[in-house]
Amino acid sequence: MNKIHPTAIIKEGAKIGANCEIGPYCVIGENVILGDDNILHNNVILDGHTSIGKGNKIFSFAVLGTDPQDLKYAGEPSRLRIGDYNTIREFVTINRSNQMQEDTVLGSNNLIMEYVHIAHNCQIGSNCIIANVVQLAGHVHVHDFATIGGVTAVHQFVHIGTQAFVGGASAIKKDIVPFSRGQGNPYQTVGLNSVGLMRKGFSNEAIAGIKEIYNLFYRSKLNTSQALEKVETMELDDFQKVFVDFVKAADRGISN
């Protein structure tokens, strides 16, 4: 049975799942699909063609599914898709995509802290932590298990690799390789996210393999193209392949 505060406005056409709690002064648009077991604190706004999975906790003054902040947007019924068991804290804003060909996506089991902005066409994976006041420009991809420290700005089209740890107050203009850590403006990659990998259960052997491939790209005297040529002669494990495939796909180049 749903618990819906009498001051909440749920527009005709909205689909609300079972066992949801919808607090005072929430507004849910006519094209919203809200799954089971979601909790909306007071003054949450869900708008546009937005679909939300189950078990999410959405805190006060979050605004999800509004139009993209893009002058090219022509009013299409573009979409926002959110998975399951996310915690979305106060004043978070997530915009729909700017085109029908691609959605804005937030996966599952993410912690999105206060005042985060996730712009149009962003693709956020699962099990990520995005700290207070992080600002993601359009088309940013954040891969699974990444952590982004507070007050960080990320340039449009940047990709942040899986298990990467981005320190706070950083400015990100190039892609950040998986399993790495760094910080700053300009951003500086300083090493592996070794502590994070150990906490996630990576074996010493796996970490050593990642370190080997990291050192090839960041500690040898080879440039990126030369390092990519070198890895073609190596037999890579699965984690090393994740690293190398990311570098190959890095259209913006990888961060120093």
Interval 101-147: pLDDT, tens: 999 999 999 999 999 999 999 999 999 999 999 999 999 999 999 99
pLDDT value of position 1: 87
Same domain, 126 and 202: no
Residue 116 lies in a domain: yes
Residue 16 lies in a domain: yes
Q: What share of the chain has pLDDT > 90, as a percent?
A: 98
Same domain, 201 and 135: no
Indicate the pLDDT class of residue 36, thresholds 50, 70 and 90.
very high
* CATH number of the domain bearing residue 114: 2.160.10.10
Residue 191 lies in a domain: no
Residue 148 lies in a domain: no
Domain end (from 95, 112, 139): 139
Same domain, 131 and 216: no
Neighbours of 71 (CB within 10 A): 7
Same domain, 118 and 27: yes
Domain end (from 104, 120, 139): 139
Domain boundaries, position 215: 197-248
Same domain, 111 and 203: no
Q: Is 240 helix (H, G, I), strand (E, B) or coil?
A: helix
Distance CA 216, CA 224 (A): 9
C-alpha Rg value of the chain to the nearest Å: 20
Same domain, 18 and 107: yes
- pTM surpassing 0.85? yes
Q: What one-character DSSP code corresponds to residue 247?
A: H
Same domain, 18 and 134: yes
Residue 85 lies in a domain: yes
Model pLDDT for residues 71-92, shown as the tens digit of each residue:
999 999 999 999 999 999 999 9
Indicate the pLDDT class of residue 10, thresholds 50, 70 and 90.
very high
Same domain, 135 and 201: no
Residue 63 lies in a domain: yes
Model pLDDT for residues 189-206, shown as the tens digit of each residue:
999 999 999 999 999 999
Model pLDDT for residues 195-236, shown as the tens digit of each residue:
999 999 999 999 999 999 999 999 998 999 999 999 999 999
Mean per-residue pLDDT of the chain: 97
Residue 182 lies in a domain: no
Query: Domains in the chain: how many in total?
Result: 2
Residue 44 lies in a domain: yes
Same domain, 224 and 126: no
Indicate the pLDDT class of residue 69, thresholds 50, 70 and 90.
very high
In 41-126, where do the E strands start and end?
A: 45-46, 49-52, 57-58, 63-66, 79-82, 87-88, 93-95, 104-106, 111-112, 117-118, 123-124
Distance CA 150, CA 21 (A): 29
Same domain, 116 and 215: no
* CATH number of the domain bearing residue 232: 1.20.1180.10
Domain end (from 139, 167, 184): 139
Sheet of strand 79-82, all strands in order from the earlier edge strand to the far edge: 15-16, 33-34, 49-52, 79-82, 104-106, 123-124, 141-142, 159-160
**CB neighbours of 38 closer than 8 A, spacing ≥ 6?**
17, 20, 21, 52, 54, 55, 56, 57, 58
Same domain, 23 and 108: yes
